[in-house]
Amino acid sequence: MVLFKERLKELYLMIIAFVVICVTGLVFISPFFILESIHEGWGGLVCLIIILSLAAISIIYNACKFIYWLLIEPFKNMRNQTK
């Protein structure tokens, strides 16, 4: 049960980090990059999209890892113990 709470806390922290990164990126950085990219090119906007995509991929990876640990690993361990 301790490991479950630890992984759940890890997932919550990753979700909070994702929300903070997205809100910061969309509210503060995105308008600046859009206005800047009109004059300078699309480099800043592409950079923002890449950073937010990497954050989203890390959140999805950790969520899938948690779901795997929660739903599949206990049954694998039970099967190995019965052999």
Question: Which of residues 1 and 17 earns the better pLDDT score?
Answer: 17
Which DSSP string corresponds to the chain? -HHHHHHHHHHHHHHHHHHHHHHHIIIIIHHHHHHHHHHH-SHHHHHHHHHHHHHHHHHHHHHHHHHHHHHTHHHHHHHHHH-
**Residue 22 — pLDDT band, cuts 50, 70, 90?**
confident
For the stretch 44-82, pLDDT in tens is 667 777 877 887 887 788 778 878 887 777 777 677 676
Structural domain of 15: 2-82
User: Residue 43 above 70 pLDDT?
Assistant: no
What is the count of structural domains for the chain?
Answer: 1
Q: What global pTM score does this model have?
A: 0.50
